[in-house]
Every structure is written in C-alpha cells, then in structure tokens.
Structure 1
Amino acid sequence: MKNFEFDSVIIGAGHNALVLAGYLAKSGLKVAVLERTAFIGGGAGTFPSPFHPGFVHEYHSQFHRNIPNLPWYSDLELDQYGLEYIYPQVNNGMPLSDGRCLIVHADPNITKKSIERFSKKDAENYFKIYHEYADMGRKIWFVRDYSPPIPPDEEQELMKKSKVGREFLELNKKSAYEMVHELFEDEALRAFYLFLFSVRGYLPVPTVKNTGFAIVAMTVMGNKAMMPRGGARQLTHALGSMVIRHGGVLFPATEVGEIIIKNGRAAGVETTDGRKFMAKQCVVSSVDPTQTFLKFIGEKHLDSAIVEGIKNYKYGISGKSFGVLFALHAGSHEAPNYTASKWDPMINQAFNTCVGYESPEEVLAHLTGVIEGTPTENIGIQCCCPTLFDPTRAPKGKHVLLAWQFAPYSIKDAGPEEWEKIKHEYLEKVLARWAEYAPNLAPKGNNIIYKFPETPPDTERHLINMREGDFHVGALIPEQLGFNRPLPQISGYKAPIDRLYLTGAGTHPGGNITGAPGYNAAQVVIRDLG
C-alpha cells in the first residue's frame, strides 16, 4: 500500500478544514486534505434531486451570512475561482394568518417602514438598535468569533475596559426572551426575533439567562443572508481550487482509521485501507470531538479527565440546544404565493421566510416539546425558495423548495428509528402548514412536482460529524462555548498531543457557515510552526 509524506495532514474536507488548508498552502506548506466521502465540503454541499434531473438541493447549508466580507474570503482571493454570492434584498419575511406580514430588508430603512405598520414605537427602536448593535457587533461579536478564545474571566476583564464592552456584558445577563420583550411591544415581531434566534441553534430555550447576546447577532446579521450562485458546493469548490492552486492535494473517499502517534507527537494518519499519510509538521482534525479523541487517538494516549469530558460532550437535543431539524425538500412549478402578498408584495420575494409562529409562547411551546422528544403538531417552519434568486438550481421556469422544522433526534418512547415510520406523514403536515400561508403549495394541488423528507437520523447518516442530527457538531450551551469548546483543557485549537491541532464546528465558535474555526486555527498553527 502506497505511503505519502506531507508537511501537514488535515482530516476532513468541510469548509473550515479547507479554509485552514488554504492558509497553510498559501504559506508554503505541502498540505494533504483527507475526506471520508466522495465529496468535499461537508455540510456546505449541494446535491441532485433523487427524483427529477435538473433540480438540486441543500441538505445542510442554505443561508450564508456576509461571507464576501469575511477576512478569509479576501485573504484566500476566492473571487478568482468563479465564486459569486447573491444577496437577496428582501432578506427575511414573516407572513401572518391574518394576512399581514413583516419584512426584514437589506436596507434598514425599508425594514423600519414594514415594522411601522405594526408599531411605530417598535420601528423606531429597531432602527436605533440596528445602528447601535452594528457597532457592538464589529467591536465585540466579530472579534470574539474571529479570534482564538480566551478564558471567560480574562474576556470579561477585557470587555470591562471599554464602554461598548460593558454594555455588551450588561445586556448579555438577560435572556433572549427578556430582551425582545424590553425592546418591542408587538407580539409578532417578538416571535419573529425568537424564531430567528432559535433557528440559528443558539443555546437552550430563549428564556435561559445569558442569551441576550444572540439578540445583538440577530439584529446585526439578521439581514445579511446570502447564497452562492449554483449552490453551497460552489464555496467549497472555490476553496478546493485555491488549495490545489497553491500545491495542496485533496484525497476524497479516503477514510481515516487512526492518528499515528510517535514519541508523544502526531506523526501522521493511517486510513482504513492501510495507507499512511505522514506529516512532517502537523496533523489537524476537523471532525467531531468524539471521533477525533475516542476513535482516532484512543483513550490510551489521553488523560482520564479529557476522556471523561469527551464522553460527556453533548450533541443537539441531548444538550438542550436546537441544531436539529426535520426538512422538506421539493420541486415545484411555481414559487410560493403568500396570501400576505396583498398586504405587502415583498413577502413573495423573501429569501428566508418564517411561517407558523405568531407569538413568543408558540415558539417556546414548540422548543419545549422538542426537548421532550415530541415532533410538534403546531408546526413552525423556516422556508426558502432559492430559485427566486438563483434559477440555476432547477429546470427553466421551475423551483426548488426547502422547509426546516425543529425536531427531536430521538422520538419519545420510540427512539430515532421511529422517524422511518412517520416521516412521510409528517412531511405532509409540514407542507400543509406552509400551504396555510401560501395556498398554491396545497398538497392536493398540481404545483408540487415531487417532495421528500430529511429526518434528523438522515442528517447523521449523511454526515457522521453531525451526531444526533446536530448541525452545530455539539450543542451550543454555555459549558461548550468559547474557551470551553470542546473542553477547557483542549481549547484554542490545540489537542493535548504535540503537533496535533483541531478545527471545525466542534471548536470555537461552533457550527454554521462562518469559516471562523478554520481562520482561527490557521492563526494558531502558523504561529506555532513559525
């Protein structure tokens, strides 16, 4: 069996691994990226419809926020590789059962006008905090996410030295639920905010203290959702092309079996088919902490406290975090036509549409049911018709539909396997709920060409990183955030083994398409290697 030698060997080819590989290759290192599946990109993948040619679907990654303005995008010169981002101006919409709707536009002035139709006071407050939180987001949120984490005590002391830092600490003492009730008086706007908070997978239910920071995030980033023309795969194709151009080598369909450790140092990896990829400088794992530490390294090389910590690392609903979804994928003749378009035609052009929640209590009731293992009957969904903005994703004149619904991985008293029995029935319920707001999607009509479900166990089967269907690769709960991710003992992208590093969604700041774990890990690795 052929053996290989590189400066750096990276396990996994998700977008964070490729961001890191891009920096290492650009710095002159000879880099190998090993991917278990036949496709690079991990969660940032785009796949053909299993039923009709010409339609493509996103299973895990639809909304990419502010990507062209992130540091790694320009550092790696990704616009040279055919990557183009589309920025839908009607960024978010929320139709209501009474025929009204709320709009969050790329232009906050237009958002303000939409909110004014519900509450002039709320509109003024939104416009005020949009600009206040933008400054806070740049100085606090962005810096936290795009820097290696520091211990919580140090971070707090650092924040206390500035006015904006003290303001951030003060508002973060509150829960997201308290924040929206202090900021807004309209129930629909409160529900809209809490839905956006929850669908991003932030922490437990919004009533938990110290979740106020997410309201800053939702205000600053809530109107910056974008999409790559041609699908999420275009982002990872551009990253892969950049790595190859700088001398890196991608190895798809190459499953790692173990990390080779010699004299206390990570020396390379061995694949399940017996090939060895030796690393002169370093090995980096971008896969989930459970695989990395318990499978690839093994308990014999680890301190017992780390082994115990990894065994207790929480994923998804078991950690009371909402990174677990049931999805409806479909192809249609027409895009959704909302009843609320009579109130404001812009709702039909919304990129991210929140359907089914009209009060904060409805959001809380759903999330509580999910924790208890019950697929809700009071369905609330995040909907999208990407072909409104990118017609390359379907045959001419046709459309792709996506709806995501919070769901438990394991169904109460039945387990995860119960999804196989109920998934098609539940799919019909999700579509029927959407059709209550957009009647041309009615299940018994002729608009839907085909449809299929994606359950939380399907997500886990598709990407084994996403254990228990968790797209964050680890619950976003306080004990697993920032310096604590994945554990305080292995914070800062360094494993407890010489020349072994970590990146990916299981490291700070977590999941979603941000590139931050890859960007931050690159800083640490390049600094250490000199």
Structure 2
Amino acid sequence: MDRTYDGIILGAGHNSLILQAYLCRAGLDILCVDRRNVAGGGLATVEHPRNSGFLHNTHSFYHRAITHMPWYRDLEVAYHGATYIEPELNVALIRENGESLAWWTDFDRTVASFRQFSEHDADRLQYWRDTFLPIVENILIPEAQSPPLEPTERRRLLGQSEAGRLLLEVSALSPLEFVQSEFEHPVIQAGLLFFNGLREVDLRCPGFGHHVAALLASSGKAQMCLGGSAALARALVSSVQAAGGEVRLQAEPKRMLTENGKVVGIETTEGEQVGVRRFVASGLNPHQTFLDLLKEEDVPATWRERAEGFEYNLIAPLFALNLNLNAPLRFDAADQAPELEQAFMVILGLDHVDDYLAMVEAHIQGSQPPPIMWGSCPTLFDPNQAPEGKHTAFMWQKMPYRLDGDPVNWDRERERV
C-alpha cells in the first residue's frame, strides 16, 4: 500500500464531507477521494461564460433548514465561510389567472394565503401544524439523530403514546392519500404534493404520509448560500482540513481491495493503492458501490440482488434552464400582488392537482409531462452572483430519464428542436 488511513470515504459530496469532518474531529485519520476536480458533488456553482461573473448553481440550490442542522453548528460551517439567508416569501405558486398561493417564513401569513382559497384548508393547515409540531420535535428529530431501531421495536414504542400512535396512523398513508383526505382545494392539494415531492419522496408510496404533516410543522424553510452552493462545499472542505482530514480530487476509485472477506483499501484508476485500518465508506450509489467496485465473490448474493434491483426515484430527474439577464424576472401576477417581486422559489404551470397527477403519469409512461416549472432569480437576494446591474435566473422541470423508454431519445429530441 502507498499509504494507510483509519478510513477512506468514496465520493466528496456533502454527506461524505460531513461524515469525514465528524470522524476527523473524533481523532481519526480519514481520506476522501473523488474523481472530479472540485469537491461537493451537487454543490456546484459554475461561472458561464468563463470570466463573465455570471454564477449558476447547476444542481443543488434550495437548501432546506441548513442552519437548523446539528452539523452546521458542530462543524462550524459558518466560521468556515458558508453564510445562509432565508427569504420571507419562501415559495409562491403562481396560477395562470394571476392568483398565487404563498408559503411565508411567518406561518400566520401562510395560513392567510391558504384562507384565500379555502377556509377549510387553512384550518387544516393550522391543525396539522399544531398537532405535528410536538411529534417533529419530540419524535422525528430525535429519531433522525439516533441509530435506527428495528421496525417492530419502533412500532412498539410509538404505540405507547397518543402522539406516537398518530404518527403511525399518518405514516401508513401515502403523501397523496394524506393530502387528498385532509385538504379540499385542488390548488392547495397540488402545491402541497409538488412542494413535498421536491424532497424526492414518491408521493404514491404508503409509509410516507407523515412527510407532508412534518413539512407543515417544520420551522425550517428553503434557504440559499451566499456566493453560490459551492460555498457550502468549500466550507465543509475547510472544516475537514481544519480537523486534519485530506480530500483528494481527480482520484477515481477503480476497485475496493479485499482480504479474507474484509475491505482493506482501494485502488485508483491511476494504479495507486491506499490501505485502511478500519473501514471504507461510500458516498456513491448502490450500483457503483456493490456492483462496480467490488468483486462478485466479495458481495453476499442478497446484497448484489438488492443493488441490482435498486430503483431510482421515477420523478427525480431535472431539466434545467439557466439564464444570464439584464434585469430580474418579473411576473404579470405581481401587478395584483407586488410581494411576488421578492418571491424566492416560484412554481409555474401548476393550476390544479390534476396537473401534478398528469406529470406523474407522464413519468410512468416515459413521455414529456405538462410544463410545470419552478425556479428562482438568485441575484435578487445575492447580487454578487452576477456582474453589477445584471442578474441570473433558472427554471427546473421534472422530466423522465428514459424518454419514450430510452435515455438516448433525449439526444434525438435535441436534434429535433
């Protein structure tokens, strides 16, 4: 081995960097390797054209409740350079007729916006927020910060309290079932489903109904990192290095090295072999981790079968449009509601819950869905992401990865248009 560490982490995305920083602070000697020339994974901020001063966040932009996360404090991320803001008009769903449904950082203003569409739905919003707030604070947050329990043991413990029993009851539903049973206005249904769906939860799957209720009760809102999302990546790398860790870029893992059924290191595509005393952890996907980087005989058959059968979220892929502008985005609906000029996340094309369901069905069929988009004008809140007096904006739309059954068809579609 060229060198040996306590542990190696594959991939330098934000989850890997957070893990590495914690382990280094605990006194371990940890190496993180990544094939790219910049750390952060989806925390990408790209200047385009080069040297133009226009910065675009090409994947990860909306960072929900980052400043509420324990690791944000524990790893001193702000000290290392990542500063966040949380715009007041956090999300605005703008309808074709100019009406808008708004989520504010001030919950009472959100309730008032819901009430413009439905008294019933505004009351249900208030009810679920008040009811689920102690569940979030006393059950879900502690669970997220603790080793997972066996499912049967978790059900037994939750069944001992009224709050726990309600959580089990709501969790048995799919998000779609929860929203359609608790809210009546089609625009509110659409907004709740779409907004929750941005978290990459399949809204048709039972077992996730509590996600919507927890979202309504959460105090955390969408935030953005000043200077671009890559500033968070740089801050995490700085935190790692301050704790003695090493992040090695342009080092692509070729395989994990094993002896007697145990991983003992990695080999890079350049032929370098690096050993470990304790572990190799992977921030890569299941196919890369268990199928590409390990020999078949080194992986239990059930693990390989599960990795081979792993399915990615059907409605996760994004089609992105990034723009350099002479002026910020302006929506006609702002004539009726001037506050929309300062909306952070804007959702367009979602007038009815049927629009959302049509989008899901299009993904199932592999066809292009109706034009439902969401995006922002980052420079409204951080002028430094463009030259003085200029702006950037982006819009995202969920599109099927396998267009008409084959991802190659996207290349053909590009030629067609």
Q: Tell me which interval the TM-score lies in, with the shorter structure as reference length.
A: over 0.9
Counterpart AA for 1:294: L
Match of 1:485 in 2: none
Match of 2:102 in 1: 103
- Cα distance per residue 1:410-455 (max 9 Å; x no partner): 1115x212212324877xxxxxxxxxxxxxxxxxxxxxxxxxxxxx
Contact 1:409–1:416 under 8 Å retained in 2: yes
Instruction: Please give the secondary structure, in 2, of the residue aligned with 1:7.
Output: strand
- Cα distance per residue 1:143-201 (max 9 Å; x no partner): 33333333322222221122211111112223323322333232211111111122222
Contact 1:6–1:278 under 8 Å retained in 2: yes
Counterpart AA for 2:339: M
1:207 Cα deviation after fit: 4.5
Instruction: Please give the secondary structure, in 2, of the residue aligned with 1:416.
Output: coil
Contact 1:258–1:297 under 8 Å retained in 2: yes
1:208 Cα deviation after fit: 4.3
- Cα distance per residue 1:82-140 (max 9 Å; x no partner): 21111111110011111111110000011122222222332232223223222222233
Match of 1:217 in 2: 214
Counterpart AA for 1:420: D
CA distance in 2, matches of 1:122, 1:307: 46
CA distance in 2, matches of 1:368, 1:110: 33
2:145 matched to 1:146? yes
Contact 2:95–2:348 under 8 Å retained in 1: yes
1:42 Cα deviation after fit: 0.6
1:291 pairs with 267, 288, 292, which one?
A: 288
Q: What are structure 1's unaligned runs of at least 5 residues? A: 427-530
Match of 2:407 in 1: 416
Match of 1:128 in 2: 127
Match of 1:401 in 2: 393
1:221 Cα deviation after fit: 4.3
1:52 Cα deviation after fit: 7.2
Counterpart AA for 1:58: N
Task: Note the 1:236-247 alignment, pairs <5 A.
Answer: 236-247=233-244
Match of 2:18 in 1: 19
Counterpart AA for 1:301: D
Task: Note the 1:341-360 alignment, pairs <5 A.
Answer: 341-360=334-353
1:260 Cα deviation after fit: 1.3
1:177–1:150 Cα change, 3 Å: same
Task: Note the 1:473-492 alignment, pairs <5 A.
Answer: none
CA distance in 1, matches of 2:326, 2:368: 29
Match of 1:495 in 2: none
1:419–1:44 Cα change, 3 Å: same
1:267 Cα deviation after fit: 1.4
- Cα distance per residue 1:244-278 (max 9 Å; x no partner): 11111111000111111123322111111111111
1:331 pairs with 306, 324, 329, which one?
A: 324
Match of 2:80 in 1: 81
CA distance in 2, matches of 1:201, 1:365: 17
2:384 matched to 1:392? yes
CA distance in 1, matches of 2:416, 2:112: 40
Match of 1:255 in 2: 252
Match of 1:521 in 2: none
Match of 1:3 in 2: 2
Contact 2:9–2:283 under 8 Å retained in 1: yes
Q: What are structure 2's unaligned runs of at least 5 residues? A: none
Match of 2:114 in 1: 115
- Is the deviation greater in 156-165 or in 267-276? 156-165
Match of 1:170 in 2: 169
Contact 2:6–2:279 under 8 Å retained in 1: yes
CA distance in 2, matches of 1:222, 1:387: 25
Counterpart AA for 2:382: D
Runs of 4+ displaced beyond 6 Å: none
2:372 matched to 1:380? yes
2:229 matched to 1:232? yes
Task: Note the 1:266-281 alignment, pairs <5 A.
Answer: 266-281=263-278
Contact 1:172–1:210 under 8 Å retained in 2: yes
Counterpart AA for 2:86: Y
1:316 pairs with 310, 313, 321, which one?
A: 313
CA distance in 1, matches of 2:224, 2:142: 24
Contact 2:128–2:217 under 8 Å retained in 1: no
Counterpart AA for 1:177: L
1:186–1:316 Cα change, 3 Å: closer
- Number of residue pairs matched by the alignment: 417
Task: Note the 1:51-90 alignment, pairs <5 A.
Answer: 53-90=52-89
CA distance in 2, matches of 1:270, 1:248: 19
1:229–1:425 Cα change, 3 Å: farther
Counterpart AA for 2:131: E
1:238–1:425 Cα change, 3 Å: farther
Instruction: Please give the secondary structure, in 2, of the residue aligned with 1:370.
Output: helix
Instruction: Please give the secondary structure, in 2, of the residue aligned with 1:79.
Output: coil
Instruction: Please give the secondary structure, in 2, of the residue aligned with 1:182.
Output: helix
Match of 1:190 in 2: 189
1:76 Cα deviation after fit: 1.2
1:218 Cα deviation after fit: 3.0
Contact 2:65–2:220 under 8 Å retained in 1: no
1:224 Cα deviation after fit: 0.5
Counterpart AA for 2:24: A
CA distance in 2, matches of 1:113, 1:272: 57
CA distance in 2, matches of 1:177, 1:269: 44
Contact 1:44–1:232 under 8 Å retained in 2: yes
Identity %: 32
Contact 2:373–2:397 under 8 Å retained in 1: yes
Counterpart AA for 2:365: E
CA distance in 1, matches of 2:49, 2:217: 37
Contact 1:195–1:354 under 8 Å retained in 2: no
Instruction: Please give the secondary structure, in 1, of the residue aligned with 2:195.
Output: helix
- Over the aligned positions, Cα root-mean-square deviation in angstroms equals 1.9
Match of 1:491 in 2: none
